[in-house]
Amino acid sequence: MQAEQWTRHEVAERLRVSITTVRRMEGRELHPGVDSRGVRQFAASEVRSVAERRAQLPISKRDDEGEAAARVFELFRSGADLRKVVTAARLHPRVVRELYAEWLETLNEGEQRKRDALTAADDRRHRARLDREHKEWTKSMSDSRTTRKTR
């Protein structure tokens, strides 16, 4: 009898990661076979073993940034406070606070904040250019007066 086999999609669901993450794990943590149709098949026992090992790791070690953020957001949604999130995720409080600020912000608010920051940076560059031009103009006017006086 053949052992239970899972597809990438099923592995991703069981490990609570993206299919891309499953692909990155292939050859390192997961060793799939390929069936007659070219579909990768993962031994369920190996996937369970990987899931158990990953459960023992802090979130910051088991996932890429996106996966860690998603898990932390789940903790926020469940009402966890800073101490609980830091303890569960094994992330620095500063990182958790940054993620909390992101979690509170809507997509529209975030995009508007980025646009505002770009506009402010453009304004600062424009003002600095005008200041330089004014100083150059003032210096050239001063130089021309000095030249006229010495004639």
The reported pTM is 0.42
CB 21 within 8 A of CB 56: no
Tens-digit pLDDT profile for residues 35-87 = 999 999 999 999 999 988 887 766 555 556 777 888 899 899 999 999 999 88
Q: Are 150 and 124 members of one domain?
A: yes
Tally the domains of the chain: 3
How is residue 84 written in tokens?
């609980």
Q: Which domain holds residue 99?
A: 63-104
50-61 pLDDT tens trace? 988 887 766 555
pLDDT confidence bin for 2, thresholds 50/70/90? low
Query: How long a stretch of residues is the chain?
Result: 151
Pair 86, 73 in one domain: yes
Count of CB atoms situated within 10 Å of the CB of 69: 19
CATH number at residue 23: 1.10.1660.10
Sheet holding 40-43, edge to edge: 5-6, 40-43, 33-34
Are residues 32 and 1 part of one domain? yes
